[in-house]
Structure 1
Amino acid sequence: MVDTAAMEKLRNSKRISDVNPDDYDVIFLAGGWGAAYDLAQSGELADVITRANAAGKILGSVCHGALGLVSAKGIDGAPLVAGRRVTGVTDAQIKSFGIAITPKHPETELRKMGAIFEAQHAWRDYFATHTTIDGNLVTGQNQNSGYETSHRILEKLATQRNA
């Protein structure tokens, strides 16, 4: 990369185990295919998300980022997403994108953990978007849901700060 400022930030990025959720108002998990290879399997990330949830932080995700919620625990020790409304990229969208080879799929993994998985469907399904809010969880179906999801997170943050 030619961008020296960006390269410096990459060289000095924090390890997830060094992240203190108390230093943040929102923990946001961006998606992308790479997330299918490590977010659900990371015990360190699960610990950060579990602690952030216990502190009442807003937890957001879009697309495959929802996999970062899969291994986290709620205050009661049950899976964080159990009985909660969430969304992420659907199994049908993964198939239409031609990326079913990825090891973890949000819809499948979230349902396994007891989540109430919500999604929109359309004729050109990979364009269907949806944002779900359940308490401190704000999740977006896919990359096209990023705009709405980020606005819902900012609205929640503003409401909390004005309370």
Structure 2
Amino acid sequence: MTEPKKILMVVAQENFRDEEFFEPKEVFEKSGAKVTVASNTTKKAKGILGGEVKPDISIPDVNIDDYDAISITGGGGARQYLWENKELLDIVRKANEKGKVVAAICISPVVLANAGILEGKKSTVFKTDENVRILKEKGARHQDKGVISDGNIVTGRDPKSAKEYGKSVLEAFN
């Protein structure tokens, strides 16, 4: 019997994209994974469509050694709360260095690009001129697809890709 996978899901404090959090979370939990939710604080986080989640831990308190994967949820709040979050960028770099699964959906692949881990990697992002430009400037090989896995890194494009993204994160463990 193998230990259940431990997945850290990061959401913006406000305006995270509901489907990009709740759908992968359901996929993870149905597989037996243990999900821990992190945000800027442990105050209730609110989604664009009204969904709410109470984070288990604040980003500064995360020890990435406690997890097998990190998944960063998208939505407009990601730009405000996550893109330039120094602690989160450090966590992403450490997770990648340790070979953990590092995943982001919608506009959050920009977090991975800002952490410097998309250099030479195939990835996708919610398609805006700004998002695509940032990925390319940071050395990513952008492709306009629903979900892309490149080694231990998984990126998803949009809410329609949320379930497939969740499955791809699980597949990246193998």
Higher strand share: 2
Q: How does 1:59-74 map to 2 (within 5 A)?
A: 59-72=102-115
Structure 1, unmatched stretches of 5+, are 1-5, 73-78, 93-104, 121-129
Cα RMSD (Å)? 1.9
Query: Aligned residue for 1:21?
Result: 64
% identity of equivalent residues: 31
Q: Between Structure 1 and Structure 2, whose CA radius of gyration is higher?
A: 1
Q: In structure 1, what is the Cα distance between the partners aligned to 2:92 and 2:74?
A: 16
Does residue 116 in structure 1 map to residue 159 in structure 2? no
What displacement does 1:39 show? 1.9
4+ runs deviating over 6 angstroms: none
Residue 64 of structure 1 aligns to a residue in which SS?
A: coil
Does the Cα contact within 8 Å between 2:124 and 2:147 map onto a contact in 1?
A: yes
Does residue 143 in structure 1 map to residue 159 in structure 2? yes
What displacement does 1:13 show? 3.8
Q: TM-score, normalised by structure 1?
A: 0.70
Structure 2, unmatched stretches of 5+, are 1-42, 45-52
**Over residues 106-127 of structure 1, what are the superposed CA-to-partner deviations in whole Å (9 max), with x where a residue is unaligned?**
322111111101104xxxxxxx
**Over residues 86-111 of structure 1, what are the superposed CA-to-partner deviations in whole Å (9 max), with x where a residue is unaligned?**
1110016xxxxxxxxxxxx4322111
What displacement does 1:152 show? 1.1
Does residue 87 in structure 1 map to residue 103 in structure 2? no
What displacement does 1:83 show? 1.0
Q: In structure 1, what is the Cα distance between the partners aligned to 2:131 and 2:74?
A: 10
What displacement does 1:18 show? 1.1
Does the Cα contact within 8 Å between 1:39 and 1:67 map onto a contact in 2?
A: no
Q: TM-score, normalised by structure 2?
A: 0.65
Higher helix share: 1
Q: Which one-letter code corresponds to 2:125 in the other structure?
A: G
Q: In structure 2, what is the Cα distance between the partners aligned to 1:112 and 1:38?
A: 21
Q: How does 1:93-112 map to 2 (within 5 A)?
A: 105-112=130-137
Query: Aligned residue for 1:156?
Result: 172
Q: In structure 2, what is the Cα distance between the partners aligned to 1:17 and 1:68?
A: 16
Q: In structure 2, what is the Cα distance between the partners aligned to 1:39 and 1:86?
A: 18
Does residue 33 in structure 1 map to residue 76 in structure 2? yes
